[in-house]
Structure 1
Amino acid sequence: MDPVHRRAARVVCVDADGRILLLHWRDPVDGHDVWEPPGGGVEPGEDFRAAARRELAEETGLDPAAVTGPSVTVLRDFRWKGQHFRGPEEFFLARYHVARPPLARDGLMPDEQLSLAGHAWLSPAELSGLAGLDPPDLAEVISRLGTPPASA
């Protein structure tokens, strides 16, 4: 089966200590783990920035107004729920001026509630070697967004 492309936007959230927020998802079909920045599909008539802000609020409860700057296009190639996805996604930056802002899951759909295994605020050094990190070159994406990874 050919890979599916869906328009999507993600947000690299950076806290006051330079840690990056990753959501930990467990695929309900095959059980594999994925660690990725918040985000998801763009709805019809929605632009990438609006989608990034909406998805951030739905998945984390964090202030969507923190999503700023231009986006960086990232080619994604991954599997989720038995389907192969491939194509570009737009990544945005959001900075928060407190350490580890608390998250809320109120905006998640019921199937997302079941698939979300947790989250973590990780130092850039902790990203390397993290099993299931997607995109695998997230440190490069962070750098391209103008946020050079700080040392741990």
Structure 2
Amino acid sequence: MEIARRPAVRIVCFDADGRVLLLNWQDPIDGHRLWEPPGGGIDPGETPLQAARRELTEETGLDPDAIDPAFVVVERECVWKGRRMVGPEQFFTARYATAEPVIGQDGLLPYEREELLGHAWIHPDDFAGLPDVLEPPSLPELCRALAAS
């Protein structure tokens, strides 16, 4: 299996009630599904914070100015589109003053529209009940640590 190393970011979005926004994706190659925070690759010339703001806007329509510039580095490894994606990702946080802010997906690329099954605001204590894989697997602990900071 091809190994891909790409610089990437994720944004852990907290709503007013402590829930976290997760996106549910389906791999177009093998059909497996996963839940993960919004995010994606860092484009050439972008800083990680610029990439986080762009990705959050594209995937959710949420206010990118809510992103805290501090981040935590998380080592990732998952299979997506027939490639083993490995390497560090910067995880940023964003906090919203309302419960379950409305998500817009006008910025999604055509292939992303096909692969995105939906989204949900879920409390970290309820991650274990998700019907599909959670990525990264350490997200519950990470969310608890980020919520406390």
TM over 0.5: yes
Residue of structure 1 in register with 2:35 after alignment: 35
Distance 2:7 2:145 in 1: 20
- Cα contact 1:3–1:86 (8 A) shared by 2: yes
Q: Of Structure 1 and Structure 2, which has the larger fraction of its residues in strand?
A: 2
Q: Which one-letter code corresponds to 2:54 in the other structure?
A: R
Gaps of 5+ in 1: none
- What is aligned with 1:141? 142
Gaps of 5+ in 2: none
Count residues in correspondence.
148
| 1:72/1:144 contact within 8 Å kept | no
Mapping 1:1-150, distance limit 5 Å: 1-130=1-130, 131-145=132-146, 147-148=147-148
Shift of 1:129: 4.7
Structure 2 counterpart SS, 1:126:
helix
Structure 1 residue 69: deviation in Å?
4.0
Residues 38-80 of structure 1: CA deviation (Å, up to 9, x unaligned): 0000000101111011000000000000000410000110011
Contact 1:9–1:51, Cα closer than 8 Å, also in 2: yes
Check whether the contact 1:16–1:97 (CA below 8 A) recurs between aligned residues.
yes
Structure 1 Cα separation of the partners of residues 114 and 67 of structure 2 = 26
SS in 1 for 2:79: strand
% identical aligned pairs: 54
